[in-house]
Structure 1
Amino acid sequence: MSDVVPPLIPPAIVPGDYVFIDTAEHLQQWLQETEAHMQATGENRCCLDTEADSLHHYHEKLCLLQVACAGRFALVDPLAIEDVSGLLALLDRHELWFHGSDYDLTMLRRTYGWAPRVVRDTQIAARLVGFRQFGLAALIHAMFGLQLSKASQKADWSRRPLPEHMLSYAVDDVRYLIPLADYLMKLLREKGRESWFEESCRDLQVDVAARSMAPKEDPWRVQGSGRLHSKGLAILKSMWEWREGIAMERDIPCYRVMSNKQMVIYAETFEAGGVMNPPGGWRPRWKKEFHDLIADVFRAGQASWPQRVKKAKARLTDAQREQIDSLCSLRDKVAESLDIESSLLGSRSTLEEVVAESAGLEALMVWQRELLKEPLANILPQAEAA
């Protein structure tokens, strides 16, 4: 669908209509008042967003919880309030709306070991009705004709006190979610896609819950390292360990020392016998340590260098690749007829799983299987019986 829609009437904004909560007593009072207000209004939906400090510190942490319940807005400070179980319990008693909830759900699980009971996501809803620009600011502009500020998008949310413009930015992330949800749900019902939406939200919850919280066995094997051989892997591991030490020492994100992409490029240069010159803007100590770690890798010798990891995943046959190409082509036609992104019906990697594994259909949601029923039956005869 076109991402330009007739602007709706935006909700009225009352200056200072939110509270910043940084004590357990204030939170308890707000929760009691909000619970009574929601019972009085009959509203069964809450909204939640989070802010973290991953762009500014080595250890990422949750720095702010933005909450909206029946027109009551609160910004809760998890850095000051250790126990927010009362808030989580309130949210669990209601339908909880997010926008782009994957990161929020991950941070909430990591910080509190908590997974909301019922999750609804306006980003998923927007994509399923056909929006191609589905960021919150883009949707708010399309729906209400309002331009939300992005000035605090990359701010350091661990700073205290938070200035007024950051607080206003934060509350806007939940202020418009219920009116936005109402409009998107209306479109979903009109298109007969409400069940798609509910299943997609549940699928996201399951996916987040299934992710391992344990540290990776070899975290230095970053994206792109799979094409390196033993020599390149040795220098990559050494650079990664050095970068971690510097980032931890200075309490900055690792990418501000050197990005994963930069490290892989250096490793490829090292593997090819090229000269590895550190970035010109580095301080003298970093440059010296960089040259030292190169020398240490040579000194350690090949016997100590890491080996390439053999992928357990079976290689696809030529026939399977042809089936996947055909499925992708037919998927694209179905998506075009529905005016949605083709990836919503299953990414290429998902379709590879469908073709390559005997129980591959389980990789698709029920609504996806139904829409792809004919293409699957034509290309994979066994799918028809399933």
Structure 2
Amino acid sequence: MSTAPRLTPPEVIPGDYVFIDSPDQLQQWLLETEAHLAQSADKRCCLDTEADSLHHYHEKLCLLQVACAGRFALVDPLAISDVSALLNLLDRHELWFHGSDYDLTMLRRTYGWAPKVVRDTQIAARLVGMRQFGLAALLQTVFGLEISKASQKADWSRRPLPPHMLSYAVDDVRYLLPLADYLMQLLREKGREFWFEQSCLELQEDVAARSAAPKEDPWRVQGSGRLHPKGLAILKAMWEWREKIAMEKDIPCYRVMSNKQMVAFAEVFESGGVMHPPAGWRPKWKKEFHELVAEVFKAGQSAWPQRVKKAKARLTDAQRDQIDQLCGMRDKIAEALDIESSLLGSRSTLEEVVAVQAGVGALMEWQREILKAPLESVLSAQPQMS
């Protein structure tokens, strides 16, 4: 991968950020920042978030890290319920994130807010061919900087937040714009700015679609599709029991039992095997576990959930051959472009392209342009579905 000259990272001035935990402080910071932005040639802003999903049952936003015109703020949403003035300011500017999927999801869930213009340095890094695109890895590659990730899994709901966690938090936005400058230079050199803009918009639309979709039968976790009614019955019972325990203890569900463990137990139950709860469980949990197994038997087959039949067209052998051809052509093009092949369209996306009439709509415009020749070659002889 060709690289642009390394940029010099900004000088770090100790204490160059403020921790804001009152509406008055936030209002004052916003007034000052508006004035700075008005005088600044660079109108871009940066945002990152921290939550407590690894420590509590109800996941919540615990910190908003903001950078505007060289000013850094750590805003406490646990202390300030109304941050609409901050969101309004950010909506008036191009907003940069790194790995924004989770941040956008939490912001929409918490505030019903979606930024107007999103830019993501992680997407930019992947589109210029970087294979290690975590923020710490990029800062090491681009600037030779080493930033601590020791607080990545910390409990961000704790108060007061210690200095090392505050320092960690501000670093997540401190270097984003110099990094963005470096990556945008590479994108311009490679003629991929349009790819970047479309990919950022696609991410926003994906997050919006996921957020709007109701979650039906949330107990049908990954892996449950291979279970039959008996296994589904015990899986549903375990999921409901796990939710109750996690809520009572205010701990994440996975600390009671992971989804993978539940599916494994359900497979044992379905095959008629003996189910032994984990050895480290407290006696009360073991007792309740055996009771829920007995309840599933007692309820009988008529009460067991049924498998979900997905209305999905089956692919013919000829169509599978076409998908293999497309994937092969895609991989060669990606190798020549020095990017991951999945960026040109995942296998599942290419399956949709082949299986659905006018399925090329599943691809972004820039992907369709790159894959134009392979698509025309393969789809011109598209067979019918079975």
Provide the secondary structure at the position in 1 that maps to 2:63: strand
Tell me if 1:47 matches 2:43.
no
Q: Distance in 1 between matches of 2:4 and 2:158?
A: 38
Deviations 1:268-306 (A, max 9, x none): 001111110000100000000000001111111111111
1:244 maps to 243
How many positions carry a matched residue from both structures? 382
1:279 maps to 278
Given that 1:5 and 1:142 are in contact with CA atoms closer than 8 Å, whether structure 2 keeps it comes out as: no
Tell me if 1:290 matches 2:289.
yes
Displacement of 1:382 in angstroms is 7.7
Tell me if 1:37 matches 2:42.
no
Q: Distance in 1 between matches of 2:377 and 2:173?
A: 45
Q: Distance in 2 between matches of 1:202 and 1:229?
A: 39
Given that 2:91 and 2:117 are in contact with CA atoms closer than 8 Å, whether structure 1 keeps it comes out as: yes
Distance 1:341 1:54, change over 3 A: same
Q: Which runs of 4 or more aligned residues in structure 1 lie more than 4 Å from their structure 2 counterparts after TM superposition?
A: 4-7
Deviations 1:125-150 (A, max 9, x none): 00000000000000000111111101
Displacement of 1:8 in angstroms is 3.3
Displacement of 1:206 in angstroms is 1.2
Tell me if 1:321 matches 2:320.
yes
Tell me if 1:253 matches 2:255.
no
Gaps of 5+ in 2: none
1:380 maps to 379
Deviations 1:249-277 (A, max 9, x none): 00000000000000000000011111100
Given that 1:44 and 1:94 are in contact with CA atoms closer than 8 Å, whether structure 2 keeps it comes out as: yes
Given that 1:54 and 1:253 are in contact with CA atoms closer than 8 Å, whether structure 2 keeps it comes out as: yes
Letter in 2 for 1:263: M
Displacement of 1:210 in angstroms is 1.6
Q: Distance in 1 between matches of 2:10 and 2:42?
A: 16
1:265 maps to 264
1:12 maps to 11
Given that 1:7 and 1:142 are in contact with CA atoms closer than 8 Å, whether structure 2 keeps it comes out as: no
Q: Distance in 1 between matches of 2:63 and 2:378?
A: 49
| Structure 1 stretch displaced more, 365-374 or 317-326 | 317-326
Tell me if 1:76 matches 2:96.
no
Deviations 1:68-108 (A, max 9, x none): 01110000000000110110011011000000001100100
Q: Distance in 2 between matches of 1:317 and 1:382?
A: 14
Q: Superposed, which structure 2 residues align to 1:350-361 within 5 Å?
A: 350-361=349-360
Given that 2:6 and 2:182 are in contact with CA atoms closer than 8 Å, whether structure 1 keeps it comes out as: no
Q: Superposed, which structure 2 residues align to 1:70-109 within 5 Å?
A: 70-109=69-108
What percent identity do the matched residue pairs reach? 80
Deviations 1:307-335 (A, max 9, x none): 11111111111111111111001000000
Letter in 1 for 2:178: P
Given that 2:4 and 2:186 are in contact with CA atoms closer than 8 Å, whether structure 1 keeps it comes out as: no
Q: Distance in 2 between matches of 1:184 and 1:137?
A: 15
Gaps of 5+ in 1: none
Q: Distance in 1 between matches of 2:145 and 2:325?
A: 43
Displacement of 1:42 in angstroms is 2.3
**RMSD of the TM alignment (CA)?**
1.3
Q: Distance in 2 between matches of 1:286 and 1:307?
A: 27
1:195 maps to 194
Displacement of 1:118 in angstroms is 0.4
Given that 1:6 and 1:142 are in contact with CA atoms closer than 8 Å, whether structure 2 keeps it comes out as: no
Give the structure-2-normalised TM-score: 0.97
Give the structure-1-normalised TM-score: 0.97
Given that 1:5 and 1:143 are in contact with CA atoms closer than 8 Å, whether structure 2 keeps it comes out as: no
Displacement of 1:7 in angstroms is 4.8
Q: Distance in 1 between matches of 2:367 and 2:190?
A: 15
Displacement of 1:9 in angstroms is 1.7
